[in-house]
Amino acid sequence: MVTTPPSRDRQNLTELLSEVYDLDRQAHSPRTKDFLEAGERLLHRDLARDAGQPADGKGRPPFEEVLAWLSRRRVVTEALRGWDPDNNTSARDSGPTESAYRYRWRTQAGYLRDLVIWALSPRMERPNQIEYADEIIDTVQQGERELPAAIEEISSHEVRELKEDKPFRLQMVFQATLAHDPQVADGLRRIDKANVNAWTEFARRSFDKLGLKLRKDVDFELLGCALNAAGEGVMFRELLPPVRPDHAPATPTRLLSLIAKALVIASADPGDGKTLDEILNEFAKRKPGKTP
């Protein structure tokens, strides 16, 4: 059986779900969670699988009907597969049934909307990578590691974490196909806010630890947003099927490390007090073959 992440047990589902009938009473019912977890497993299996890994059942869902393949019957069947009668606390509980499903979600579209938000909810929390990144910067501050090596290590860790993060894969899918839905768009904005805030505060702490100052035309929120966009963009690219080794460009770790180093160099003021635009204008005015 697939277990629920510990943080899920503490979530207030009345704030997360919107389509369940009799929400106050049913939001924390084990049966409601059975159906959501079953649908999430199917999403992971069919939409968040590795490149080249065959889909479960009838193959890849048609592009024009992103979730049409996720039927009520299929969800109930999956919920029954994950249900453990031995843990049943009520003799009258017959397990996940279609009638129990229909009682909670009067329409399939309502279930699918709640399911998407449920499956994305782990991404709405502060990313675990931040603690690791803080520890690596601490070693730079203590003189145990050089900054370039630290950036490379943080980038490598970010790549490993996001590569194994199925909710991140689903985020990429839903952001590309379902962002027109107001509730899905709201969930995606919550993800973006949580991650941008985390990287913003990391950047602020790191600059403070290393005694760095920002250029006057850059702020930490912009830098945090850029760092988050770099990680997501590199990993979105990494979801492509692998190419032959002789045609492989930079690895995701090397690519993310390059972007992160460039962002730090561009954002940090070495004492010249110039803006990025001023520096770029100076580059453009230099005569070929001459150095400053």
DSSP 124-193: GSPPTHHHHHHHHHHHHHTTSS-HHHHHHHHHHHHHHHHHT-HHHHHHHHHHHHTTTSHHHHHHHHHHHH
Compute φ and ψ for 268, nearest 5 degrees. -80, 135
Q: What pTM did the predictor assign?
A: 0.79
* Count of CB atoms situated within 10 Å of the CB of 13: 19
- DSSP one-letter code for 264: H
Q: In this predicted model, what pLDDT tens digit does every residue of 70-81 receive, in sequence order?
A: 899 999 999 999
Name the average pLDDT for the chain: 86
Q: In this predicted model, what pLDDT tens digit does every residue of 182-220 receive, in sequence order?
A: 888 899 999 999 999 999 999 999 999 999 999 999 999
- Band the pLDDT of 2: cuts 50, 70, 90: very low
The rounded Cα 224 to chain-centroid distance in angstroms is 15
230 vs 137: CA distance, rounded Å: 19
* 217 in Cβ contact with 275 (< 8 Å): yes
Mean pLDDT of 90-106: 86
User: Domain map of the chain by residue range?
Assistant: 6-119, 125-270
pLDDT attached to residue 4: 46
What CATH class has 125-270? mainly alpha
Which helix (H) or strand (E) segment is 94 a member of? none
What percent of the chain stands above pLDDT 70? Answer: 83
- At 60, which amino acid appears? R
Taking 80 as the threshold, does the pLDDT of residue 283 lie above it? yes
Residue of 123, 107, 111, 94 whose CA lies nearest to 232: 123
Q: In this predicted model, what pLDDT tens digit does every residue of 22-36 receive, in sequence order?
A: 988 898 899 999 999
**155, two tokens:** 């980038």
119 vs 21: CA distance, rounded Å: 19
